[in-house]
Chains A and B, each alone.
Chain A
Amino acid sequence: MPRPALVRSVPLLSTRRPLGVALAAGVTVLGLALTGCTSAAPQASSTPTAGGTLTYASGDAEPTCLDPHVGGNYPQALVSTQYLESLVSLDSDGTVIPWLADSWTVSDDGLTWEFTLRDGVTFSDGTPLDAAAVQANIAHLQDPATGSSTGYLALAKVTGTEAVSDSVVRLTLAQPDSALLESLSQPWLGIESPTALERSQDDNCAAPVGTGPFVVDSWVKQNAITLVRNDDYTSPPADAEHDGPAYLEKIVWRFIPDSASRYAALQAGEVDVIDNAQPDTIAQAGQSDSIVHLDAPRPGASNRIELNSGKAPFNDAAVREAFIRSANVDDAVASLFQGSAERSYSALSSVEPLGTSRPELFDYDPAAAATLLDDAGWSEKDADGYRTKDGVRLTVVFPVSTNQSIPAEQSLFEQIQATAKATGFDVQLTKLDLSSWYTALGSNAYDAVSAPYTKVGPDVLRILFHSDGITPAPSGYFANHAQVNDPELDALLTQAGQTGDADERATLYADAQERILEGFYILPLYDQQNHFLLGTAVQGARALPTVSTPTFYDAWLNR
């Protein structure tokens, strides 16, 4: 039984995450945790058989629109991976490989890209895939009426498109963007039928039309999306296991928000695959013969607590360091995640090759924390044992999104609350629903927060730590929750985003990470958890190495 990658065990995380722009790091790409382990199939010897219905149970919120161009969050990516395809993909080593585009070229100044499309591909509504179709997709993403968020930002530097021929499309950029290919590989930039895009947004949201191995058949809100096999499928990515149509006849995509119910459903055989598996169930699955674990940490940022350096008390680096030193994260991760998550000491996901890890900066050292606080003027203690300075209590307001933090993570925060209390921090956890949580962030009513960010490549650092990210959008949204405002860091990140030279880029990102970690802006916890549990009947399922969404093209049922 070749068990799939338990290589890195990880935390999981739950629902929707806003995705930021992908940046492109030309050639460099990330290896996924699935390395060498693309299949979750327990019986490698069997021959795939066609047919059958696979039931997938998602713990994420049900998308409000199945077209990932609209908005663009992870739940959309999960399901659209089954019916939409991108121009390029990544292989398990992180190398960009052809998908709907056979090949591509870039001009020396990095401002003009030409993609040659694969021959003979048609959308499932019969529309042929051609240059005009790609143009229509880019136009759709850039049209404000679409309401695209993730895809829109990914294409921020694209200023024009042109059909060089039926099969060659040219993109013109305002500035060089070495992350372009990675951006295009993301499911949020999946290519849809231009004919279908002509329809009203409602229709398109209900059943987007792509070139993928499955087709959206029906969507009963709050119940299930039914996907059926695309029998005319011709365009698997270069790293697929087979050609032609998928094995599965049908996928029923369900939403079971309650984690206990979801796992019970898998145990009872009512569903075949669940996502957002909880640590205790992963541990149980490890001892079970009937359930297989698939671990696919997401790329981009690690899961971390961001400390708001924009206001007191964390505008003082010493207090930030004291907080980090006073938090016993290691024990908490060990007990809560039961081996399914590994502690991170980096701003980036462990799947990012350019990540820098500095364990020594995040040691649990309450004594050092106490000294730091004493020196910083927080030397008094009040009746409850909390430190004060000038009569003000050392309070850390920590809003927790119940949508974004799984129970184990919420418990982790409680343990941090408890250990930090010993040093004299009054950590005030507030569980909030997503809207309230964003409102709290938007009104700067937080001292610490944990917000996940998924994105391919180290360019995520620019989004999270460049001072541009402090200014909120009209919606109140901003990505730089640590409110890092460091001109030198800004320069490093801008430069890294535009350089064409891989070594230089690596050095620049390394420097940038040093500044971030040594500035104690963040307390890294672990990778963004992305665990799937599969019934043993499911064979050949794997996660795409782009943003770790599962694909069932190669999957088949061994019942």
Chain B
Amino acid sequence: MAEPLTDARSTGGQRVRRLGARIGWPLTRRIGGAVFVLWAVATLTFFAVRLIPGDPAQAILGGPGSQTSPEALAAVRAEYGLDQPVIVQYLAQLGRLATGDLGRSYALNMDVGPLVLSQLGGTLLLAVLALTVAWILALGLATWSTGRGRVARRIGSGLEIVAAALPHFWLATTLIVVASVWWGILPPISTADARGLVLPVLTLAIPLAGFLGQVMRESLTTALESPFVLSARARGEGERGVLWRHALRHAALPAIGLSGWAFGSLISGAVVVETVFARPGLGRTLLNAVTVRDVPVVIGVVMVVALAYILMTILSDLASRLADPRPTTSTAGGAQ
């Protein structure tokens, strides 16, 4: 499909400028909002982790199972500032965070920054791939089951509902048993090559595809009944053209808006999936850190996840705006 733009320079330029104006101001507001959210997330996490029973100094010295001396505990408390009043610790923590310093892990003998960075890639890759695959699955099912009559529609929406109801860990195990143990075609754990990604990505993508598909199907039905689809048919457009050139784009809009939320749920899913498939990543780091009360790592991971979530939301807003350049913009939904 060729861009039918007649005068790319002027109209294109104008469009870019108009788009810029539409996005520019919200973007600055977004950045302000993001800083606020990060601050609040850090604060909430700081105090929440503090509520968990257990002594951080003990966590630093190898956990509650180790046999530490009072002197060692005191030394650690002083070193990490744990003997300071909570508010001082909190401010110190904020100060460090403001300069980008995520602090030092209690349990892992390393700085949180490098740790989180090293784990971030795997999780992001997993989440982005899962999101992509979920989109492909949802779109595929929607296109397959539309315009094929009631039975196909029923099957399609039935599959979506079932998919959305699958618990991650159960799905993961079932996939392992079927694909790895019975068929022996895919490794059950993460491997260096891409094959190891298939099952984890599917595990995350299938339930998500169910959600996206449900949302998409509703708007797809609306779009297919709209006058512009009738117009397109009247021009001689076939089912496929109607679907791909017109209806799907409308159907995708609400689902695009949901992508920010979807990303958040993928991170939750990653906690389980990374454990089952023995993949390195933020989810596993988080789970481990929480169980050993490794406060700096918990805060660090949560901050990074929050930041990624915010970026994802901005991206999905941006994608919404690009997909739907109409001026009435709906904010990205955080709906379930």
Contacts and interface: CB of A to CB of B under 8 A. Distances in A.
A268 B292 contact: no
A71 B188 contact: no
B103 interface: no
A149 B68 contact: yes
B72 A147 contact: yes
Contact of B67 (A153, A264, A433): A153
Among the interface residues A70, A475, A476, which one has the most CB atoms of the partner chain B within 10 A?
A: A475
Interface string A6-24: 0000000000101000000
Interface residues of B, number: 50
A434 B187 contact: no
B275 A268 contact: no
B180 A264 contact: yes
Contacts of A264: 176-177, 180-181, 188-189
Interface in A423-448: 433-436, 438-439, 442
Interface in B69-111: 69-73, 75, 107-110
Interface string B233-254: 0000000000000000000000
A475 B58 contact: yes
A215 interface: no
Given A221-B119, A222-B285, A438 B65 contact: yes
Contact of B291 (A18, A201, A267, A434): A434
A486 B146 CA distance: 79
A222 B291 contact: no
A258 interface: yes
Interface string B41-76: 000000000000111001101111111111111010
A516 B54 CA distance: 32
B116 to A, nearest CB: 11
Interface in A93-147: 144, 147
A270 interface: yes
B66 A474 contact: no
B64 A442 contact: yes
B64 A261 contact: no
A220 B180 contact: no
Contacts of A254: 189, 278
Interface in A264-280: 264-265, 267-268, 270-271
Nearest to B72: A144
B83 to A, nearest CB: 14
B257 interface: no
A336 B58 CA distance: 36
A547 B177 CA distance: 34
A258 B275 contact: yes
A335 B109 CA distance: 42
A201 B109 contact: yes
Given A65-B109, A221-B118, A222-B285, A439 B64 contact: yes
Among the interface residues B190, B191, B293, which one has the most CB atoms of the partner chain A within 10 A?
A: B190
Contact of A268 (B75, B110, B184): B184
A260 B176 contact: yes
Interface in A475-491: 475-477
A221 B68 contact: no
Contacts of A436: 53-54
B64 A434 contact: yes
A261 B61 CA distance: 31
Contacts of B61: 147, 475
Contact of B108 (A64, A258, A271): A64
A473 interface: yes
A61 to B, nearest CB: 8
B109 A268 contact: no
A270 B186 CA distance: 10
Given A147-B62, A220-B280, A439-B54, A271 B67 contact: no
B184 A435 contact: no
A553 interface: no
Contact of B65 (A16, A144, A202, A221): A16
A205 interface: yes
Contact of A261 (B67, B69, B119, B176): B176
Interface string A456-494: 000000000000000001111100000000000000000
Given A221-B118, A254-B189, A18 B66 contact: yes
A173 B119 CA distance: 47
B168 interface: no
A295 B118 CA distance: 36
Contact of B64 (A260, A267, A268, A477): A477
A519 interface: no
Nearest to B272: A258
Contact of A255 (B109, B181, B278): B278
Interface in B211-240: none
Given A221-B118, A434-B292, A442-B64, A475 B73 contact: yes
Interface residues of A, number: 49
A223 interface: yes
A257 B275 contact: yes
B3 to A, nearest CB: 45
Contacts of B177: 264
A153 B67 CA distance: 9
Contacts of B58: 475-476
A260 B172 CA distance: 10
Contact of B188 (A206, A221, A270): A270
Nearest to A222: B280
Given A222-B281, A258-B275, A473 B181 contact: no
A197 to B, nearest CB: 15
B115 interface: yes
A427 to B, nearest CB: 23
A406 interface: no
A149 B255 CA distance: 54
Contacts of B66: 18, 71, 147, 149, 475, 477
B109 A261 contact: no
B63 A221 contact: no
Contacts of A476: 58, 64
Contact of A473 (B67, B108, B293): B67
Contacts of A223: 190, 279-280
B65 A474 contact: no
B276 interface: yes
A333 interface: no
Nearest to A256: B278
Contacts of A144: 69, 71-72, 75
B239 to A, nearest CB: 42
B68 to A, nearest CB: 5
Contacts of B65: 16, 18, 73, 434, 438, 477
A161 B62 CA distance: 27
B321 interface: no
Contact of A270 (B70, B189, B276, B281): B189
Interface in A46-91: 57, 61-62, 64-65, 70-71, 73
A62 B109 CA distance: 13
Interface in A296-320: none
Nearest to B61: A147
A108 to B, nearest CB: 32
8 contacts: A221-B108, A261-B278, A262-B278, A271-B189, A435-B59, A435-B292, A439-B54, A475-B73
Interface of A: 16, 18, 57, 61-62, 64-65, 70-71, 73, 144, 147, 149, 152-153, 201-202, 205-206, 220-223, 254-258, 260-262, 264-265, 267-268, 270-271, 433-436, 438-439, 442, 473-477
9 closest A-B pairs by beta carbon, nearest first, are A438-B64, A222-B280, A256-B278, A264-B188, A223-B280, A71-B62, A18-B65, A149-B66, A433-B291
Given A221-B280, A271-B189, 9 more contacts: A71-B66, A149-B62, A206-B109, A257-B278, A261-B276, A264-B188, A265-B188, A434-B292, A476-B64
